[in-house]
Amino acid sequence: MKSKYEIILYWSQEDEAYIAEVPELPGCMADGATYQEALTNAEVIIAKWIETAKELNRYIPEPKGKLMYA
């Protein structure tokens, strides 16, 4: 699955891993040893975030696409 949510990827020296944050989905984050692994893990966790939100009847934000300030 390729989501349409913005994913911010960066290296965390503290965690010694790449971090993938999904700002539009509160608390949705993943990590990985490589950039690609973090991105792949983010796609998985986005799907799980949405699945859980549906199960709990919670609001799921629509993807906004590219943010103007990013």
pTM here is 0.85
Rounded CA-CA distance 8/59 in Å is: 22
Per-residue pLDDT at 8 exceeds 60: yes
pLDDT in tens, 10-19: 999 999 999 9
Rounded CA-CA distance 60/28 in Å is: 12
Instruction: Enter the tokens of residue 40.
Output: 């792949």
Residue keyed to tokens 């949510």: 5
Our CA dihedral for 41, 46, 48, 53, rounded to 10 degrees, sits at: 160
Q: Domain extents for the chain? A: 8-56
